[in-house]
Amino acid sequence: MSFLDAIIAALKSLRQNMLRSILTTLGIMIGIASVIVMSSINAGAQQKVEEQIASLGSTMLSVSPGASRRGGRSSGANSAPQLSERNLDAIKQAVPNVVDAIGEVRVSTTAVAGGADWPTTITGVHAGFPVVRNWPVATGRFFSEQEVSSGRRYAVVGETIVKEVFEGTNPIGGQLRIGNVPFEVIGVLAAKGQNQFGRDEDDLIVAPASAVRARLAGRDATVPDQLDSIRVLFADNTDLVRAESDLMDIMRTQRRIRPGQADNFRVFNIAEFIRARNETAQTFGVLLAATAAISLLVGGIGIMNIMLVSVTERTREIGLRLAIGARKNDILIQFLVEAVTLCLIGGIIGLGLGLASTTVVAKVAGWDVLINANLVLIAILASAAVGVFFGFFPARRAAKLNPIDALRYE
Amino acid sequence: MNPEHGSSEALVRGDNVRKTYRMGAEDIHALDGVSFKIARGEFLSIMGPSGSGKSTLMNLLGALDRPSAGRLEIDNAPIGDMTPDQLAALRNRTIGFVFQQFNLLARTSALENVKLPMLYAHKRPSDLNKAAQEVLDLVGLGDRLDHHPAQLSGGQQQRVAIARALVNRPQILLADEPTGALDTQTSEEIMQLFTNLNQSGVTVIIVTHEQEIADWTNRVMRLRDGKIVTDERLKERLHVVS
Ligand SMILES: Nc1ncnc2c1ncn2[C@@H]1O[C@H](COP(=O)(O)OP(=O)(O)OP(=O)(O)O)[C@@H](O)[C@H]1O
Ligand SMILES: [Mg+2]
């Protein structure tokens, strides 16, 4: 008997028990549907996370003042001394594998141009900003290190500033008054949209750190060249654990922290931080994976059960087939094909259900759902595998029948 | 006599064939050492009281089972030495089996039922419908191809079963009480069909309880308690072939 004949025979016999067949495949349907939903949502969440990490720089560490979370007395963020330009220079010179590093000074302010004003944040940075933050300029240019040193009042703005303050007109060459200090707009940053927590990334102004500090910050005179944070970009494929400890060594030396004394600064691995925050999404995924596995298991047992019933019901048919020349393998394949066909039907319906509910979940929960073409393959392979696995025992039982006993079976 | 060098025309040769079933502590000798030869082209009936071993013998002749002891050759193949798959091939190509209860697949058309043995013979798909139709014509059911068993009379169902047994052009047609479930009129029609088939060269062996049925054949073998008690060739046929 050819494979095609076996499939045709299987479909016929399944059609003869239509309702039973459909009920039997429910477990498989739900199982496959959860596999689809799970992997789509996971892929979506994963992609979102990786996109965000990439946009921040996956080999970036950032340093901020504050008490160490590890051991020692917690002295509170505010009591720790500020970071400084000197710290930044030391990092650039002494830490291996550093591509570039920038300092940041942030001031909340109101930006005014023409008649419009807009509450926002101005961030003083260094010329390495586009590289370190992986954030290119869309139009115009960024300021050079020399312009930073000379304290030029240049500004590079985000898309939202263009929209809100310049009302969509080309801002380059225009003036922006920030806390009554005029800045000249020389570039616009590429749009990034909202981040994962819904904050508008494009609502920012960057300017040379020196200019921001001199004109706007003016607080905490203890460190004249203060920086709120330092971001350090390492070369691709750098071992970040190693890099982190190198960075901490330099910072401890810089800040004269004696061995045994607690750090008064913190080093963040932003990529890790974001991955950790996304573990909730992973938990959801694990839950769905468990649902899928259990459904497939239960579904598979259902298939095995119904196939055993079918083998018993059709004992005489099996005897007849053997009597007219079917070999053991023909019988084995017949029932195996039947089980696999049953599972495939369930799997395909489950695939449809899964894709539909994925779309619904995406809409309702605001997830970014990725439907991967491979999922179709996964669904089909998974259901076929369940069919083979759980169909084998009943099929072997059928194939083992002796023709005379089977024919005589009442 | 050495069975190896016996008559070369013998299609079936049994030499001291035994079939023993073990029931609890005691052995049941369903066949207690039977020896016989069946030549090509014979029309043989097997008779005997219930429990005498007729079906047991038929199952052996049909290669559905292997003897417990002794030697049984079908078309020169010793079935005691064959693997299950070799037996399956023998059942598929050399032997056609007709059952008392027809054993047709339910909710499956006559044509599909008849095609079944060809599927297991790995015949080319294009030949199947034509060949099945031909044998259904032969048994007089050329106009009932699409009927399901439930839509056919008992006699018609048995004809479908006979067509199925014939479709792979077997050398031997075996029928265990083929008319047991049929009325007299229909039984005669079926026996007429067997007679025609026998005359076209097929060796036909039937089991029956009824003398009227045995009278259609030209050799009657009687069993009792697993032994052959008489084996007579009838010189004259009682029924003239119409
Ligand atoms: N599978 C079996 N297990 C045990 N005993 C069996 C088995 N098959 C047959 N027998 C025994 O073997 C003997 C012969 O049985 P068989 O079926 O060949 O009789 P039969 O001549 O066909 O009878 P009937 O005319 O009633 O069909 C009987 O005693 C029966 O009980
Ligand atoms: Mg019997």
Looking at A223-227, A275-279, B135-139, which range is the least confident one?
A: A275-279
Pick the residue from chain B with its C-alpha nearest to A6.
B119
Quick one: pLDDT band at residue A35, thresholds 50, 70, 90? Answer: confident
Q: Is the pLDDT of residue A60 over 90?
A: no
Q: Mean pLDDT over all residues of chain A?
A: 85
Over 50: is that where the pLDDT of A21 sits?
Answer: yes
Beta-carbon contacts of B136 under 8 Å, excluding residues fewer than 6 positions away, are B110, B111, B114, B142, B144, B145, B160, B163
- ipTM, two decimals, is 0.92
- Taking the Cβ of residue B235 and every Cβ of chain A, the question of whether any pair is shorter than 8 Å is answered with no
Residues A300 and A234 occupy one common structural domain: no
Average pLDDT of the residues in A379-388: 92
- pLDDT at position A70 is 47
- Say whether both A149 and A85 belong to one domain: yes
* Spatial CA neighbour of A117 closest among A75, A70, A165, A160: A165
pLDDT number for residue A366: 66
How confident is the model at residue B1, as a pLDDT? 39
Domain check: are A165 and A300 in the same one? no
Claim to verify: residue A109 and residue A171 sit in the same structural domain: yes
Residues of chain B with pLDDT under 70: 1-9, 235-242
A107 and A168, same domain (yes or no):
yes
Q: Which amino acid type is present at position B241?
A: V
Per the prediction, chain B carries an average pLDDT of 91
Q: Which residues contact A90 (CB under 8 A, 6 or more apart)?
A: A250, A253, A254
Number of independent structural domains in chain A: 2
Q: Assess whether A44 and A160 both reside in one domain.
A: no
Query: What is the model's pLDDT at position A222?
Result: 56
The DSSP bridge partners found for residue A156 are A187, A206
Q: How far does the centroid of ligand 2 lie from the alpha carbon of residue A320, in Å? A: 16
Q: Which of A319, A324, A328 sits opposite B84 (nearest CB)?
A: A328
β B219-224/B43-47 pair status: parallel
The answer to whether residue A133 scores a pLDDT higher than 90 is no
Q: Quick one: three-class SS letters along chain A?
A: CCHHHHHHHHHHHHHHCHHHHHHHCHHHHHHHHHHHHHHHHHHHHHHHHHHHHHHHCCCEEEEEECCCCCCCCCCCCCCCCCEEHHHHHHHHHHCCCEEEEEEEEEEEEEEEECCEEEEEEEEEECCCHHHHCCCCEEEECCCCHHHHHCCCCEEEECHHHHHHHCCCCCCCCCEEEECCEEEEEEEEECCCCECCCCCECCCCEEEEHHHHHHHHHCCCCCCCCEECEEEEEECCCCCHHHHHHHHHHHHHHHCCCCCCCCCCEEEEEHHHHHHHHCHHHHHHHHHHHHHHHHHHHHHHHHHHHHHHHHHHHCHHHHHHHHHCCCCHHHHHHHHHHHHHHHHHHHHHHHHHHHHHHHHHHHHHHCCCCCCCCHHHHHHHHHHHHHHHHHHHHHHHHHHCCCHHHHHHCC
A320 and A185 in a common domain: no
Local structure of B88: helix, strand or coil:
helix
| A305 and A213 in a common domain | no
Q: List the domain range (segments joined by +) for residue A125.
A: 81-263
What structural domains does chain B harbor?
41-67+82-233 (3.40.50.300)
B5 inside 8 A of chain A by CB:
no
Last residue of a domain, one of A209, A229, A263: A263
Tell me the β-bridge partners of A121.
Answer: A108
* Range A376-393 average pLDDT: 92
Shortest CA distance to B86 belongs to which of B100, B103, B66?
Answer: B66
Q: Are residues A248 and A319 in the same domain?
A: no
Pair of tokens at residue B16: 């001291």
pLDDT at B123: 81
pLDDT band at A73 (very low <50, low <70, confident <90, very high): very low
pTM for the model? 0.71
Q: What is the pLDDT of residue A67?
A: 67
- Summarised one tens digit per residue, pLDDT across range A38-57 is 777 777 777 777 777 776 66
- Residue after which a domain boundary falls, among A238, A263, A288: A263
Domain check: are A303 and A251 in the same one? no
- Predicted confidence band at A357 (pLDDT cuts at 50, 70, 90)? confident
For residues A104 and A244, membership in a common domain is answered with yes
* Reported confidence tier of residue A154, pLDDT bands at 50, 70, 90: very high
Tell me the per-residue pLDDT of B108-147, one tens digit each, with 9 for 90 and over. Answer: 999 999 999 999 998 887 889 999 999 999 999 999 999 9
Pairwise CB contact (< 8 Å): B168 & A325 = yes
Q: Read off the pLDDT of residues A165-184 as tens digits, 9 standing for 90 and up.
A: 888 889 999 999 888 889 99
Of B107, B119, B164, the CB nearest to A5: B119
B124: nearest CA in chain A? Answer: A2
Q: Does A63 map to a domain?
A: no
**Same domain flag for A86 and A213:** yes
